Amino acid sequence: MKAKAKHAPQETLDGPFAGLPELLRIAAKAGGIDAIIAIIKARGGRWTSVPKRLSADHWLLKATSRDVADAIAREFGGQSMMIPNGRGLVPRAIAAKVLMSGGSFNDAVVASGLHYRTIQRIKDKLDAGLVTEALFVEQISKGPKGDARQLSLFDPR
């Protein structure tokens, strides 16, 4: 059963996280990039159900904050859904967070599992002001080089 939100609030459709699947946009709006990383690490690539009311021991509450979990439950409560696996998103987002918090290249390599040269490219984008935390996620969600001829997998067109 494909998960579909009861309604699509306008604030989750626009902004820096617009290229992400709706679940991750809602999580990002409520808890930022940390919420996205936590959800993907906890259940990425798997089917899961989202209850309308979350018990204290539910995986979503353990992985994120009450605000994030409640926002997701409001939109997807009572549904089963596939949590995006975020293979390309999570390591790069982790690297960006480490670098933005003052960590070294080696710290970013260890935390993300990415190659040193990939970390250098991420750092170059951060230093040039081409990328912020939110814009980094948006850029990653659009895929490599942003070919205008290639439709987004998550574009609602």
Q: Which tops the pLDDT comparison, 129 or 77?
A: 77
* pLDDT tens-digit map of 66-103: 999 999 999 999 999 898 887 777 788 788 888 888 99
- Please state the pTM of the whole predicted model: 0.62
Residue 51: pLDDT band by 50, 70, 90 thresholds?
very high
Determine, yes or no, domain membership for 38.
yes
Determine the angle formed by the axes of helices 89-100 and 133-142, rounding to 10 degrees.
160
Structural domain includes residue 73: yes
Residues 112, 136 contacting (CB under 8 angstroms): no
Compute the average pLDDT of residues 10-38. 73
Kindly state the helix (H) or strand (E) to which residue 47 belongs, with its residue range.
strand 47-50
User: 148 lies in a domain?
Assistant: no
Which of 32, 62, 82 finishes a domain?
82
* Residue 135 structural domain: 89-141
The verdict on residue 112 lying in a domain is yes
Residue ranges with strand state E in 65-128: 79-82
- Structure confidence at residue 131 (pLDDT): 60
Domain count within the chain? 2
- Do 52 and 26 lie in one domain? The reply is yes
One domain, residues 29 and 74: yes
Segment 104-119 shows an average pLDDT of 91
- How high is the pLDDT of residue 128? 78
